[in-house]
Amino acid sequence: MRTKHVNVLIALAAVMLFGFSCFCISRMTQTSNQLINCRNHILEFKEKMLHLKNKTERNRQELIKALSKMKYEMTQRKNMSINLAEKKMNTLGKNETASNTFEILKFFFPHLRKVDRIYPDVIIGKEKTGVSFALGISTVNRGNQSYLKQTLNSLVSRMTPSEEKDSVVIVSVADTSLANMAFKLNLANRQFGFASKVFGFVSLPNSSRGCIKQVLDFCFLMLYAQPKAMYYLQLEDDIIAKKTYFTKITDFVHNITSKNWFYIEFSMLGFIGKLFKSEDLLDFVHFFLMFYKDKPIDLLLRDIFQVKMCNPGENPEKCAERNKQIRIRYKPSLFQHVGIQSSFPGIEQYSKDIYY
């Protein structure tokens, strides 16, 4: 009888052991399937990341090739003799010689090669060169709204007399509206009696519309300002400046130990408050003209850094570190965007610099 009980217990134990073994095998199989699925997801993610990396590298290589081609063609053009005659312009009875710098436009726009002179008309202002800073402002017709008076008051009233003497503010009238042109001239004459000492009002040719026009207008302004000063500060016509902004900019630039900086940002918004060395402006303009149809100018500014400063296949962290060293950001921002009516018809914008 006892033997029978033992056999029953052994059988029961065997059944329980078999059941437990089956349970364990089932769980192991389930865990294995989960691990396999997880591995497949990881492999799929790696494949997608590799594809994205290859696509990014192809785009970078295309930009580098385009830039190399442009440099080669520019070198070829420099070997050609270009003779420009002096052209008389309506500039308060002064004559101004057309700059060879603007001849680059004929390379990017072949239809201009038949034009004798490519140079903006200087409406108001004496020829002022040899200063430390040129402040460039591009203004367009915003309908019934204009922020230019407020912007100019903010900029000039916060300069010291010596800073006024060592700078030039260049305002480009970047549209062909006669009414708007008359308003700008009247503003300069009535509001700023010292316009001939500080300001130059420049009329630009009608280039296009929208973002394309904006890029081209900035390029014209940079080309005009390039020979006038050591540094060029890009501003817009709907901003205000902080008190002693000019002194802060001057002190900051003079205290930078490295001379290899790319540009300095005195505002985090768009293309406002970007300071360039005038000797570098032609490189920027050439790049902007290459891709002016593709992106707004603030995005092109980011792209030129990637092309010129980041090596193909380089670790992104290294490139980002170099970015911090040569693309310098000044905080807090010295300029704030105040305009609501955009330069693009029918659009309102409320962007503010949170670091101001």
The confidence score (pLDDT) of residue 286 equals: 92
Last residue in a domain, options 61, 84, 107? 84
What's the token pair of residue 193? 């009696």
User: Which residue segment(s) compose the domain that 145 sits in?
Assistant: 117-337
Last residue in a domain, options 40, 61, 84? 84
pLDDT at 19 over 50: yes
Taking a C-beta distance cutoff of 8 angstroms, is the pair 333, 267 a contact?
yes
pLDDT at 113 over 90: no
Residue scoring higher pLDDT (50 or 119): 50
Taking a C-beta distance cutoff of 8 angstroms, is the pair 285, 271 a contact?
no
349 in a structural domain: no
Last residue in a domain, options 84, 109, 127? 84
pLDDT at 32 over 60: yes
Q: Residue type for 316, please?
A: P
Q: What is the mean pLDDT of residues 325-342?
A: 84
Q: What is the 3-state composition of the chain as percent helix, strand, coil, each rounded to the nearest 5?
A: 55, 15, 30
Give the separation between CA 79 and CA 89, rounded to whole angstroms.
29
108 in a structural domain: no
Task: List Cβ neighbours of 211 (8 Å cut-off, separation of 6 or more).
Answer: 295, 296, 297
| DSSP symbols for 45-66 | HHHHHHHHHHHHHHHHHHHHHH
Question: pTM higher than 0.75 for the full model?
Answer: no
The confidence score (pLDDT) of residue 57 equals: 80
The confidence score (pLDDT) of residue 95 equals: 37
The confidence score (pLDDT) of residue 187 equals: 55
The confidence score (pLDDT) of residue 127 equals: 67
223 in a structural domain: yes
Is there a single domain that holds both residue 219 and residue 307? yes
The confidence score (pLDDT) of residue 258 equals: 80
pLDDT band at 83 (very low <50, low <70, confident <90, very high): very low
Total domain count for the chain? Answer: 2
pLDDT band at 96 (very low <50, low <70, confident <90, very high): very low
The confidence score (pLDDT) of residue 138 equals: 87
Give the separation between CA 232 and CA 271, rounded to whole angstroms.
13
Q: What is the percentage of the chain residues whose pLDDT exceeds 90?
A: 26
Strand intervals (E) in the chain: 87-91, 94-96, 121-124, 131-139, 167-173, 199-203, 229-236, 239-241, 263-265, 274-277, 327-329, 335-337
The confidence score (pLDDT) of residue 129 equals: 85
Is there a single domain that holds both residue 276 and residue 156? yes
The confidence score (pLDDT) of residue 264 equals: 95
Give the separation between CA 263 and CA 261, rounded to whole angstroms.
6
100 in a structural domain: no
Q: What is the percentage of the chain residues whose pLDDT exceeds 70?
A: 69
The confidence score (pLDDT) of residue 199 equals: 66
- Give how far Cα 343 sits from Cα of 122, 138, 147, 211, 234, Å: 22, 10, 11, 10, 16
Is there a single domain that holds both residue 45 and residue 189? no
Is there a single domain that holds both residue 79 and residue 153? no
What's the token pair of residue 136? 């460039």
Average pLDDT across the chain, whole number: 76
pLDDT in tens, 120-164: 766 665 567 899 999 999 887 776 777 888 898 899 999 999 999
| DSSP symbols for 11-49 | HHHHHHHHHHHHHHHHHHHHHHHHHHHHHHHHHHHHHHH
Is there a single domain that holds both residue 249 and residue 317? yes
228 in a structural domain: yes
136 in a structural domain: yes
288 in a structural domain: yes
Task: List Cβ neighbours of 14 (8 Å cut-off, separation of 6 or more).
Answer: none
Taking a C-beta distance cutoff of 8 angstroms, is the pair 277, 190 a contact?
no
Is there a single domain that holds both residue 158 and residue 68? no
The confidence score (pLDDT) of residue 89 equals: 33
pLDDT in tens, 217-249: 899 899 989 999 999 999 998 999 999 999 999
Q: What is the mean pLDDT of residues 47-58?
A: 79
Is there a single domain that holds both residue 128 and residue 243? yes
Question: Looking at residue 226, which CATH number applies to its domain?
Answer: 3.90.550.10
Is there a single domain that holds both residue 159 and residue 280? yes
Q: What is the mean pLDDT of residues 253-263?
A: 88
Is there a single domain that holds both residue 290 and residue 180? yes
pLDDT band at 88 (very low <50, low <70, confident <90, very high): very low
Q: What is the mean pLDDT of residues 302-314?
A: 83
Is there a single domain that holds both residue 27 and residue 140? no
Which SS3 state, helix, strand or coil, does residue 332 take? coil
Is there a single domain that holds both residue 72 and residue 122? no
Is there a single domain that holds both residue 79 and residue 122? no
327 in a structural domain: yes
Residue scoring higher pLDDT (192 or 87): 192
